[in-house]
Each structure stands twice: as structure tokens, then as C-alpha cells.
Amino acid sequence: MIQVNNLSFSFATNEIFSNLNFNVNRGEILSIIGPNGCGKSTLLRLLRGTLKAQAGEILWEDIPVGQIPSREMARKVAVVPQSSTVQFPYKVRELVAMGRYPHRKNLLRFQDKTDLREIEQALVMTDLLPLAERLITQLSGGELQRVLLARALAQNSSVLFLDEATSHLDIDHRLELTELMVRLNREEHITIIQISHDLDLAAAISQRILLLTGHGKIADIGSAEKVMTAANLQRIFRVDVKVESNPFTGTPQIVPLINNSTHQLTGLKVHLICGGGSGTTLMRRLHLAKAQVTAGPINRGDSDEAVATALNIPLVQEIPFSPFSKSTLTTAEQLIEKTDILVVTTQWWGAGNLPCLGLAETALKQGIPVYLLAQQQEQDYTDGKAWGRIQQLQQQGGKSIRNEEHLLDELSHLPT
């Protein structure tokens, strides 16, 4: 039904997707999951044609999405956004009625019997009939989210896009609306593409799961049993989980393995080689553990730089979007010489940050322990140079660590 071929998209110089390929089958529920910032909401906008890709194509039944008029697309697809702010005090019924606009030939005419029937059904299915005459501005966030879903249902489209549509709902309405989605899919044959952070619910209702990496690559796609493995979830979300079979549905059930111990690293000097947000979680946790943290080199404007600045972490900076200069690398090397531990958290390697691995090599020669956090070969964009040097670091004594929790456990047991 929808075919995505070699899709590439960027915001300015920030690449979101590169050569993305997948399809959406008619009549299925496809759940898109992945860490925050990986491009899930952007992908929905691309599929609908509200954003234009730089390369590749998106086909709706063999028609390029850019050739489908917006009014026709509105009849094809109803969208429930992640959140919405409505300033004008519409009544609930009035906002739900807006879902009928794509079906009107004359926008000035009154609602006909079909419009009224669809609006009434949408209000009933979302448990909003008692609130139909209430002003939108008087609703809670969860109630407003139900109104937005009702508006989408009133649109009576064959495809439904949901961007974390149930995230603001209490448990009873979340389950009711999840059951409603399943019923619409099975009885009305509506194709549903949803973004969800509720992995258990996504596994329970979806024919297929699309798992994205933190940088917009497809980590896996297929059935919940195929995609939601402990190895996949640890690799993408960097947390330890146990995947069990739900005793009622038989679908995967995710059980986080929570470590209740607290880490105290008072006085331990830790330097991070990071960038692109790879160091934000570790910086926060090291700060809470009372470690003495330094970082760099980092380009100005990087998300890791913002966190380091907020936590008063000394760092070595380079001008934005530039390779690290010799003087910047020398300054970082001097900072590393004063540290107890060096941690490489950088996830994506290119020509610009490749010299940072030289800093790790020098640290090992100086007797400074080096930890390599969650390094993966597919994140090497230097024709294998970075991965080769990472393997050399491992051979020379650099230690690979799966995630931040394991690293903190390791550092907690170091001799003082």
C-alpha cells in the first residue's frame, strides 16, 4: 500500500534518515518504536507528504506522495498528533466535527446526515458524549487527546496515523482506545501506523514492528517476536530487559531489569569522549554519583555540550560542524592525562571525529583505563577505519561495556 524507497531526509545539516526502505501493508497495524529523537514523528510527516524528502520516494499505491493533492490525502489519512494546544474555546462536538471537512464539497454548507452520524459515532466510541458540549479549554490533557482521536475517527479515513496518541491517557481509556484501534483494524480494515513508547501494547496489537536506531536507521522490522528481543532492545535503548511471553496473549512482554543499587564515585576523575547526545545520560549519572567529570572534544551547539555546560563540566570545544583541529585534540589530550578513567561514548564515527580514537590509544599507553561504551560496527562511516581502531583498542586493553548501568557498576568496584 505504501512503499518507501531509498528515503533520505535532513533538517539543515542534521541528517535524520538515509536510504530508508520499507513498506506498509494494507490492513495491518504497524508500530514504529525507537529512542527519543530518532525521527519517528518526522517519518509520519514524510509518509503523509507534509515534509518533502531530499532523496528517494514514497509511493501510495504506486503514486508519488507529492502528487497527491492535500485534500485527497486528508480523505485518505486521519492523524492523531502527540499533543495539541487549542486556544479557541470550541465545544468538543465542534472540534470533532472538523474531521468531516475533507469530505465536504462546499465548506460553507451545514453538516448533512452522514456528517452528523460520523460525529456522533466518534463521540460515542471515544467516551466523549457526556463532554460533547463542554469547552475544549476546560478539558484535561487526557480528555483533549481523546477529542483529537474522535476528530480523526469522524474523518472516516482508510488509514490512521497515531503519534503516541495514548501517552496522556489514564489506564482505562488507554486500554479502551487500544481495543478500539484493534477493532477498527479487524472489522473496518483500517490500516494503522502508530508511534508508541508502550512496548508491551505495541507487541500485543501489531502485525509488525518497525524498530529504529537512535540515528534513524532500521534496526529490525517484522513480527513482535522477531523484533522485540532482549538483544535488540538492549542495543537500541541501552537498557537490560528480559523478554517473556505474555500468559494471556502469547506476545512478547518486556520486563526491565532494574538495579536498585546506588553508585558513589566521589572523587573519581572520568573523562568522556562523546558527541551527538551519546554522553548526556552518562554525564548526568556520573554527576549524581559525585564523580569529577570532564569531556571533549565537542563541537559547540552539540547536545552533549549543552548538558556539560548545565552541569558545569569542564570541556574542550571546537567550532560548530568542524573536524577537530590539532590544537583542540592537544588540549583534550592534556585534560585526559589528569584523569583516572577515559570513556568513549561516541556512537557514530566519521572523518571529523575519527582522531578521537587516537586520544584513547594514547591514554592506554599512559596506563589510563579506557572503556568503550556500546560501540557497533554499523555506526562506522569511515570505510572501516574506525571499527578497525576500536578493535585494536580492545586488543590493547580497552574494555567494551554494553550500557551506562554496567559501566557504573564496573567503576563502583574499582579499587580506591
Residues 325 and 351 in one domain: yes
Q: What is the domain range of residue 321?
A: 269-412
**Residue 3 reports pLDDT greater than 90:** yes
Report the CATH number at residue 356: 3.40.50.450
Higher-scoring residue by pLDDT: 380, 345: 345
Whole-angstrom Cα distance, residue 410 to residue 8? 39
What integer best gives the mean pLDDT of the chain? Answer: 88
Residues 284 and 236 in one domain: no
Q: Supply the pTM of this predicted model.
A: 0.76
**Residue 140 reports pLDDT greater than 90:** no
Residue 364 lies in a domain: yes
Residues 242 and 278 in one domain: no
DSSP assigned state of 346: -
CB 319: neighbour CB atoms within 10 A?
12
* Per-residue pLDDT at 162: 92
DSSP assignment of 153-167 equals HHTT-SEEEEESTTT
Query: How many domains does the chain fold into?
Result: 2
Q: What are phi and psi of 88, to 5 degrees?
A: -80, 135
- The two beta strands, 55-60 and 63-64, are antiparallel
Identify which of 268, 311, 263, 252 has the alpha carbon closest to the alpha carbon of residue 287. Answer: 311
**Residue 107 reports pLDDT greater than 60:** no
**Residue 91 reports pLDDT greater than 80:** yes
Residue 264 lies in a domain: no
Report the CATH number at residue 176: 3.40.50.300
Residues 240 and 96 in one domain: yes
Residues 89 and 194 in one domain: yes
Residue 361 lies in a domain: yes
The conformational region for residue 101 under phi > 0 = left, psi -120 to 50 = alpha, else beta, is alpha
Residues 246 and 352 in one domain: no
Residue 19 lies in a domain: yes
Residue 263 lies in a domain: no
Residue 287's Cα: distance from chain center in Å? 25
Residue 156 lies in a domain: yes
* Per-residue pLDDT at 67: 94
* Per-residue pLDDT at 403: 87
Domain end residue (candidates: 225, 256, 287): 256
Averaged pLDDT, 76-82: 87
Domain end residue (candidates: 203, 227, 256): 256
**Residue 142 reports pLDDT greater than 80:** no
Whole-angstrom Cα distance, residue 319 to residue 291? 27
**Residue 109 reports pLDDT greater than 60:** no
Whole-angstrom Cα distance, residue 8 to residue 19? 5
Residues 367 and 226 in one domain: no
Residues 207 and 337 in one domain: no
E strands in 183-340: 191-195, 208-212, 218-222, 241-245, 252-256, 269-273, 292-299, 315-318
CA quadruple 331, 332, 334, 338: dihedral, nearest 10: 150
